[in-house]
């Protein structure tokens, strides 16, 4: 496979979107989008359905035209060019394999269109790359979903595009196959060194595969960065909720110094490091991930560097396999979710138990906006 | 139990009666094409192959048949081409009068043929067009087109737009995408629309009769001949067309099942 992949190493190009706006009759799909994807990167565009991610992909492929803005591939302005004039290929959500052609003819289609020499040999090599060489003469309808997905990938890769676009390519596969394809897709990307732009609504898939994730919402990019960084320090309520789960607390800033900021939530002091907070004055939202929080059956002694709230009552316990998900109702604060691993007995504590919740100050994050209908009350967000 | 017995005996009997009822006119036509007829072809006078061998001897039969085939082929080609274009436009593009056009297309199908034929005839008269094969073709294209649009439209609607997008993405120009992807995928729909078109055109009497002038078509010939006794040669041509149609259907069916079996085997 390594030797074959050599053949496909292409000049992966960088992609730049400048001030993109896309209006459809009646609504605006993309408001104002600026994006730079360096060459050779695996970039994921993550967002809920209707956030404009697929539209972005179609603009890059040339299937739609932006209302405003410029698209540059490898530094060249391609905004006005047609799809067949762009060195870009797409793996469609539905795969869009041509049903009236064999698998091999499907893969060779792009090469034949551009009158590339020896299209069949190259198509066979591309099918070998995705380990489907033995099915070359079949019709697409005769293949399983996973195999069709790989044919679609081969059909795009064989053209050595500068940029490969993937539109929810694993959406139609079952969970097990999806995990397997995630690993294969990532391996192929690393091997061929292409620029991948992957559109998905599956946060796990995005975090697992991408070098950089951009979280998109309502036609804008909310936040962009390495998956670990996005998860560790979300900047907005949307990102904190869409990428994993978060407990959010809303309160007035009570103390503030160079190193930390504290808010007051119904008499509980919650502290966040200054450099982990987006907003430093007024009412702000501070959050913590459920797996970073612990609960204690007896009140721990307060100590510096630890946020401590409670006591509250465990009102729900959910078994999820490796861990249990505890929902703790703290008077005046709201519901807090805590994950505890089932390393010992499960559940760790019984329903109805009175507990205190603590987490390290350095695990807090401060957001730039407030959760909807929070007013002054703090709420937890699951 | 009672229902079961009813299904066992009554249903097959009913089916047989229905089929016999449907087949009588066809069987009559076929059998009497071998009749050693004289002036009329109403009484069985003995078996002969003469009618089949010398089918063109009877004055005008073959000429009328030839005209009908010519009109059918030209009308079909024109109606299928235009109808396919309209069907694609109606499904794929959003334009102002779209729903209005969709409705208009149905009108020729809904209008009684007598009205359509008479209306066309008066239009040809008022523009001073000489009636003949050309006016028949114009009339046939008009009503066949509606059927083509309806048939092909269903096919276009079921075509995933992503397939054409994939074609464009894979370096196909708009024309290449149409001929290599859209057209082959629409082919079954276009083909059945064309067959339907030809059948409608070949078969049409009412509209043709209004707009043909002196030109003779096969249905018109049979109609005229019926006044003085249909010649056996007409039965020969009728039976021939019927057998040809059956042969086409059987061939298509066999090919289809062979293909299905081959696909199943590969899997």
Chain A residue with CA closest to B164: the answer is A96
For A4-18, A218-232, A332-346, B243-257, which range has the lowest pLDDT when averaged over its residues?
A: A4-18
Residues A167 and A286 in one domain: no
Residues A193 and A119 in one domain: yes
**Best mutation target, B93, B158, B171, B186, to test chain A (most A CBs within 10 A):** B171
Residues A209 and A290 in one domain: no
> Helix (H, G, I), strand (E, B), or coil: what is residue A226?
coil
| CB contacts, 8 Å: B186 with chain A | none
Does residue A268 lie within any of the structural domains? yes
How far apart CA A45 and CA A206 sit, in angstroms, is 8
> Helix (H, G, I), strand (E, B), or coil: what is residue A371?
coil
**Portion of chain A with pLDDT greater than 70, in percent:** 93
What six digits make up the tokens of A165? 């676009």
Q: What are B50-93's pLDDT values in tens digits? A: 888 887 877 788 889 899 999 999 999 999 999 999 999 999 88
B264 touches chain A (CB under 8 A): no
- Cβ distance A113 to B171 less than 8 Å, yes or no, reads yes
Does residue A237 lie within any of the structural domains? no
Residues A187 and A320 in one domain: no
- Cβ distance B169 to A90 less than 8 Å, yes or no, reads yes
B165 touches chain A (CB under 8 A): yes
Pick A114's closest partner by Cβ from B166, B171, B185.
B171
Residues A6 and A119 in one domain: yes
Q: What are A322-377's pLDDT values in tens digits? A: 888 999 999 888 899 999 887 776 666 788 889 999 999 999 999 999 998 654 34
For A42-56, A305-319, A342-356, B206-220, which range has the lowest pLDDT when averaged over its residues?
A: A342-356
Q: Tell me which residue has tokens 């696909």.
A: B263
**Portion of chain A with pLDDT greater than 90, in percent:** 59
Query: Per-residue b/e over B85-122, b at no fewer than 16 CB within 10 Å?
Result: ebbbebbeeeeeeeeeeeeebeebeeeebeebbeebbe
pTM above 0.90, yes or no: no
Distances (CA, A) of B202 to A97, B93, B114, B245: 39, 33, 17, 12
Distance from CA of A347 to the nearest CA of B (A): 49
On the question of a cis peptide bond just before residue A347, with omega within 30 degrees of 0, the verdict is: yes
Those residues with Cβ within 8 angstroms of residue B127's Cβ, 6 or more apart along the chain or in another chain: none
Give the distance from CA A127 to its chain's centroid: 29
**pLDDT attached to residue A345:** 66
**pLDDT attached to residue A11:** 61
Among chain A, residues having any CB pair with chain B shorter than 8 Å are: 61-63, 82-84, 88-90, 92-94, 96-100, 109-110, 113-114, 138-139, 142, 155, 159
- Cβ distance A94 to B181 less than 8 Å, yes or no, reads no
Distances (CA, A) of A174 to A146, A198, A204, A372, B65: 9, 18, 15, 34, 60
How far apart CA A211 and CA A178 sit, in angstroms, is 19
B186 vs A304: which has the higher pLDDT: B186
User: Quick check: A211 and A64 in contact, CB under 8 A?
Assistant: no
How far apart CA A87 and CA B60 sit, in angstroms, is 65
Q: How far apart are the first and last CA of chain B?
A: 42
**pLDDT attached to residue A360:** 95
How far apart CA A192 and CA A16 sit, in angstroms, is 21
Pick B160's closest partner by Cβ from A94, A139, A155.
A94
Chain B residue with CA closest to A160: the answer is B170
Chain B residue with CA closest to A96: the answer is B163
Residues A117 and A210 in one domain: yes
**Based on the structure, what is the number of domains in chain A?**
2
Domain boundary, last residue among A173, A199, A230:
A230
On the question of a cis peptide bond just before residue A26, with omega within 30 degrees of 0, the verdict is: no
Residues A131 and A181 in one domain: yes
Tally: H helices and E strands in chain B? 12, 0
- Note the CATH number of domain B59-230: 1.10.3720.10
Instruction: Kindly state the helix (H) or strand (E) to which residue A126 belongs, with its residue range.
Output: helix A119-129
Query: Could you tell me which of A221, A220, A244 has the C-alpha nearest to residue A232?
Result: A244
User: Quick check: B133 and B213 in contact, CB under 8 A?
Assistant: no
Q: Is the ipTM of this complex over 0.90?
A: no
**pLDDT attached to residue B222:** 85
**pLDDT attached to residue B267:** 54
Q: What are A132-154's pLDDT values in tens digits? A: 899 999 999 999 888 998 899 89
User: Quick check: A99 and A106 in contact, CB under 8 A?
Assistant: no
Residues A25 and A172 in one domain: yes
B98 touches chain A (CB under 8 A): no
Residue B10 has a CB neighbour count (10 Å cut-off) of 10
How far apart CA A111 and CA A126 sit, in angstroms, is 12
pLDDT below 70 — which residues of chain B?
1-4, 265-267
Does residue A370 lie within any of the structural domains? yes
Query: Could you tell me which of A295, A274, A287 has the C-alpha nearest to residue A232?
Result: A287
User: Quick check: A283 and A252 in contact, CB under 8 A?
Assistant: yes
Domain boundary, last residue among A170, A197, A230:
A230
What's the whole-number mean pLDDT along residues A300-308?
Answer: 88
For A162-166, A214-218, A281-285, A320-324, which range has the lowest pLDDT when averaged over its residues?
A: A320-324
B176 touches chain A (CB under 8 A): yes
How far apart CA A104 and CA A158 sit, in angstroms, is 11
B167 touches chain A (CB under 8 A): yes
**Best mutation target, A89, A91, A113, A168, to test chain B (most B CBs within 10 A):** A113
Domain boundary, last residue among A204, A230, A256:
A230
| CB contacts, 8 Å: A159 with chain B | 170-171
How far apart CA A200 and CA A47 sit, in angstroms, is 7
How far apart CA B62 and CA B36 sit, in angstroms, is 19
Residues A81 and A165 in one domain: yes
> Helix (H, G, I), strand (E, B), or coil: what is residue B160?
coil
Chain A residue with CA closest to B264: the answer is A142
- Cβ distance A83 to B168 less than 8 Å, yes or no, reads yes
Does residue A238 lie within any of the structural domains? no
Distances (CA, A) of B43 to A200, B29, B32, B38, B39: 78, 12, 9, 10, 10
**pLDDT attached to residue B4:** 62
Residues A266 and A196 in one domain: no
Those residues with Cβ within 8 angstroms of residue B233's Cβ, 6 or more apart along the chain or in another chain: B51, B55, B56, B57, B58, B61
Mean pLDDT rounded to a whole number for chain A: 88
Residue A186 has a CB neighbour count (10 Å cut-off) of 16
Does residue A15 lie within any of the structural domains? yes
User: Quick check: A178 and A206 in contact, CB under 8 A?
Assistant: no
DSSP state of B229: -
- Cβ distance A98 to B263 less than 8 Å, yes or no, reads no
User: What residue numbers bound the domain in which A276 lies?
Assistant: 245-377
**pLDDT attached to residue A346:** 63
Chain B residue with CA closest to A97: the answer is B163
Pick B169's closest partner by Cβ from A61, A100, A138.
A61
> Helix (H, G, I), strand (E, B), or coil: what is residue B26?
helix
Those residues with Cβ within 8 angstroms of residue A72's Cβ, 6 or more apart along the chain or in another chain: A15, A16, A17, A18, A78
Residue A174 has pLDDT above 90, yes or no: no
Distances (CA, A) of B83 to A288, B49, B80: 63, 42, 5
Residues A215 and A261 in one domain: no
Give the CATH number of the domain where residue A348 resides: 2.40.50.140
Residues A202 and A253 in one domain: no
- Cβ distance A100 to B169 less than 8 Å, yes or no, reads no
Give the CATH number of the domain where residue A130 resides: 3.40.50.300
Does residue A236 lie within any of the structural domains? no
How far apart CA B18 and CA A178 sit, in angstroms, is 56
**pLDDT attached to residue A276:** 94
């Amino acid at each position: 496979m390594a030797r074959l992949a050599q053949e496909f190493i292409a000049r992966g190009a960088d992609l730049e979107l400048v001030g993109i706006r896309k209006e459809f009759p009646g609504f605006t799909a993309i408001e104002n989008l600026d994006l730079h994807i360096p060459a050779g990167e695996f970039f994921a565009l993550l967002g809920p359905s209707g956030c404009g991610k697929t539209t972005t992909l179609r603009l890059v492929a040339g299937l739609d035209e932006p209302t405003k803005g410029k698209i540059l591939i490898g530094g060249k302005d391609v905004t006005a060019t047609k799809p067949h004039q762009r060195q870009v290929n797409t793996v469609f959500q539905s795969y869009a394999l041509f049903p009236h052609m064999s698998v091999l003819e499907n893969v060779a289609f792009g090469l034949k269109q551009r009158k590339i020499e020896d299209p069949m040999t190259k198509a066979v090599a591309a099918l070998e790359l995705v380990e489907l060489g033995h099915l070359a003469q079949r019709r697409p309808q005769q293949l399983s979903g996973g195999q069709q997905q790989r044919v679609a990938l081969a059909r795009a890769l064989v053209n050595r595009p500068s940029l490969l676009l993937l539109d929810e390519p694993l959406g139609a596969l079952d969970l097990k196959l999806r995990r397997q394809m995630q690993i294969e897709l990532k391996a192929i990307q690393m091997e061929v060194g292409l620029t991948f732009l992957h559109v998905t609504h599956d946060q796990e898939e995005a975090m697992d595969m991408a070098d950089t994730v951009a979280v998109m919402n309502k036609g804008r990019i909310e936040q962009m960065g390495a998956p670990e960084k996005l998860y560790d320090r979300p900047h907005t309520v949307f990102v904190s909720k869409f990428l994993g789960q978060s407990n959010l607390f809303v309160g007035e800033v009570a103390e503030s110094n160079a190193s930390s900021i504290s808010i007051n939530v119904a008499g509980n002091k919650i502290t966040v490091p200054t450099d982990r907070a987006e907003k430093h004055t007024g009412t702000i939202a501070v959050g913590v991930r459920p797996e970073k929080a612990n609960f204690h059956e007896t009140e721990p002694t307060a100590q510096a560097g630890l946020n401590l709230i409670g006591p509250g009552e465990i009102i729900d316990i959910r078994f999820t396999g490796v861990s249990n998900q505890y929902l703790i109702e703290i008077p005046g604060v709201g519901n807090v979710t805590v994950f505890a691993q089932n390393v010992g007995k499960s559940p760790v504590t019984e329903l109805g138990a009175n507990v205190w919740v603590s987490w390290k100050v350095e695990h807090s994050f401060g957001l730039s906006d407030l959760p909807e209908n929070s007013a002054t009350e703090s709420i937890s967000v699951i | 139990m009672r229902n079961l017995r009813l299904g066992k005996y009554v249903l097959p009997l009913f089916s047989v009666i229905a089929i016999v009822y449907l087949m009588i006119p066809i069987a009559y036509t076929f059998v009497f094409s071998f009749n050693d007829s004289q002036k009329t072809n109403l009484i069985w006078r003995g078996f002969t192959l003469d009618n089949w061998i010398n089918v063109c001897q009877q004055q005008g039969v073959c000429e009328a048949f030839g005209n009908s085939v010519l009109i059918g082929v030209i009308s079909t080609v024109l109606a299928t081409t235009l109808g396919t274009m309209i069907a694609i436009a109606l499904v794929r593009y959003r334009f102002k009068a779209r729903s209005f056009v969709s409705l208009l297309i149905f009108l020729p199908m809904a209008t009684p043929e007598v009205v359509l034929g008479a209306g066309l005839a008066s239009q040809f008269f008022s523009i001073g067009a000489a009636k003949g094969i050309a006016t028949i073709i114009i009339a046939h294209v008009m009503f066949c087109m509606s059927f083509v649009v309806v048939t092909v439209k269903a096919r276009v609607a079921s075509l995933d737009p992503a397939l054409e997008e994939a074609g464009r993405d894979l370096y196909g120009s708009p024309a290449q995408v149409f001929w290599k992807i859209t057209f082959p995928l629409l082919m079954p729909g276009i083909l059945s629309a064309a067959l339907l078109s030809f059948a409608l055109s070949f078969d049409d009497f009412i509209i043709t009769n209004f707009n043909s002038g002196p030109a003779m078509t096969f249905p018109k010939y049979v109609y005229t001949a019926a006044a003085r006794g249909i010649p056996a040669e007409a039965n020969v041509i009728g039976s021939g067309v019927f057998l040809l149609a059956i042969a086409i259907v059987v061939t298509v069916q066999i090919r289809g099942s062979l293909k299905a079996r081959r696909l199943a085997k590969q899997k």
